[in-house]
């Protein structure tokens, strides 16, 4: 190499060992392909994956569904409705619509809802004025709502038509050594959602192909629509008592329009508080987060991947492994004394 060639090389340019190798700098870089894959992949991806799975597992050990559903969920619903939500029958369509929205708010802090919104946290990094930092996150929230409404309305209409013969309608008790039809439905739905989230986390790290790479070229908002559909998919398996009460009311009504409206409002109520927190985070810390991400873009990939992997591992292990232990189908699963 001549002196001229040596001096023309940028000092920060990554050195390559040969064709097809990854840069020797701190991050391996390829072009981003969708909202969840920015193309800046960190080193030690195996360690990141291991810690993400471990984090999801530890959450399953300490998570108390009884505390979240009854202590938080029931008290919120009772306060907003002004009566005992579980003991008071739903009288009429208007009461059912109100109950659907309130039960959605009451279910804000259920495990599945927090898991999904954890994966959206990296999207809060925006720059500009405080007004623009609030407006910018509204776009992904809006597209996410499109996916949510499409799935929840379709499932609600289905429940209004044939809900009384669906597994989720079953009142069969959960006996040791067996699974009720609604438990099987929950396991299938949440198990699939958990595995999808794990895959998205691996894609964010560049370990597996980005499933949105092609469609995002034409429809950049497709990943957010899919995320909304994934969140709405929780309704298909959710065992939250207040949701099951709404489900049975919609199923017994035989009215698909009522079912669609109730399930849509339940989904929207489910994300109201988390969406407000999401916007507040963008407003208060958006510019600082953006600067932090810009300093090393692989940080965004790490945060996205960890959120997806923790959420996915938690969802799969909690609903497909810990549930088997609670039903005494497998011998043991570690749980905290309060769980």
Q: How far is CA 263 from CA 159, 194, 303, in A?
A: 9, 22, 31
Tokens 């909202």 locate to 35
* 322 and 60 Cβ atoms separated by less than 8 Å: yes
CA nearest to 193, candidates 111, 312, 305? 312
Q: How far is CA 157 from CA 55, 78, 107, 231, 309, in A?
A: 37, 27, 21, 17, 32
pLDDT at 15: 40
- At residue 295, does pLDDT exceed 90? no
CA nearest to 53, candidates 233, 315, 320, 324? 315
Confidence of residue 159 (pLDDT cuts 50, 70, 90): very high
236-258, pLDDT tens digit by residue? 988 778 888 999 999 999 999 99
Q: Of 294 and 249, which is predicted with more confidence? A: 249
- At residue 126, does pLDDT exceed 60? no
pLDDT at 142: 87
- Kindly give, in sequence order, each residue whose CB lies less than 8 Å from that of residue 296, ignoring residues fewer than 6 positions away: 26, 27, 40
pLDDT at 198: 94
86-109, pLDDT tens digit by residue? 888 888 889 999 998 998 888 877
pLDDT at 136: 73
- At residue 290, does pLDDT exceed 80? no
| Cα gap 39→305, rounded to integer Å | 12
pLDDT at 19: 38
The pTM is what?
Answer: 0.85
Evaluated on CA atoms 134, 135, 137, 142, the torsion sign reads: positive
pLDDT at 22: 39
- At residue 24, does pLDDT exceed 60? no
| Cα gap 268→270, rounded to integer Å | 5
Q: Taking all residues of the chain, what is their mean pLDDT, rounded to a whole number?
A: 83
Where along the chain do its domains lie? Answer: 45-327
pLDDT at 147: 93
- The residue length of the chain stands at 339
| Cα gap 74→278, rounded to integer Å | 24
- At residue 6, does pLDDT exceed 90? no
DSSP conformational letter for 186? H
- At residue 183, does pLDDT exceed 60? yes
185-195, pLDDT tens digit by residue? 999 999 999 99
Whole-number percent of the chain with pLDDT over 90: 39
- At residue 16, does pLDDT exceed 80? no
Confidence of residue 291 (pLDDT cuts 50, 70, 90): confident
pLDDT at 13: 42
Lowest mean pLDDT among 144-148, 200-204, 241-245, 255-259: 241-245
């Amino acid at each position: 190499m001549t002196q001229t060639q040596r001096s023309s090389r940028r000092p920060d340019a990554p050195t390559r060992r040969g064709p097809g190798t990854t840069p020797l700098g701190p991050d391996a870089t390829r072009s981003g392909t969708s909202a969840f894959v920015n193309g800046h992949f960190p080193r030690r991806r195996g360690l990141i994956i291991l810690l993400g799975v471990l984090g999801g597992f530890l959450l399953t050990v300490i998570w108390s569904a009884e505390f979240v559903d009854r202590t938080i969920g029931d008290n919120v619903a009772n306060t907003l409705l002004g009566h005992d939500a579980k003991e008071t029958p739903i009288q009429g369509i208007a009461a059912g619509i109100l109950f659907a929205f309130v039960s959605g708010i009451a279910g804000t802090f259920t495990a599945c809802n927090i898991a999904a919104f954890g994966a959206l946290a990296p999207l809060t990094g925006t720059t500009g004025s405080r007004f623009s930092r609030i407006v910018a996150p509204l776009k992904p929230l809006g597209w996410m709502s499109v996916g949510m409404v499409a799935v929840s309305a379709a499932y609600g209409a289905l429940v209004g038509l044939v809900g009384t013969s669906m597994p989720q309608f079953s009142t069969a008790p959960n006996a040791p050594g067996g699974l009720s039809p609604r438990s099987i439905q929950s396991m299938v739905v949440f198990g699939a959602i958990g595995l999808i989230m794990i895959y998205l986390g691996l894609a964010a790290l560049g370990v597996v192909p980005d499933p949105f790479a092609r469609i995002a070229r034409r429809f950049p908002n497709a990943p957010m629509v899919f995320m909304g559909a994934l969140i709405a998919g929780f309704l298909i398996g959710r065992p939250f008592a207040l949701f099951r009460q709404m489900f049975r009311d919609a199923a017994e009504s035989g009215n698909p329009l009522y079912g669609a409206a109730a399930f849509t409002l339940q989904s929207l109520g489910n994300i109201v508080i988390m969406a407000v927190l999401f916007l507040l985070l963008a407003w208060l810390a958006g510019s600082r987060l953006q600067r932090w991400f810009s300093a090393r873009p692989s940080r965004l990939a790490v945060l996205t991947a960890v959120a997806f992997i923790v959420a996915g591992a938690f969802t799969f292990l909690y609903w497909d492994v810990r549930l088997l232990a609670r039903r005494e189908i497998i011998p043991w699963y570690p749980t905290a004394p309060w769980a």
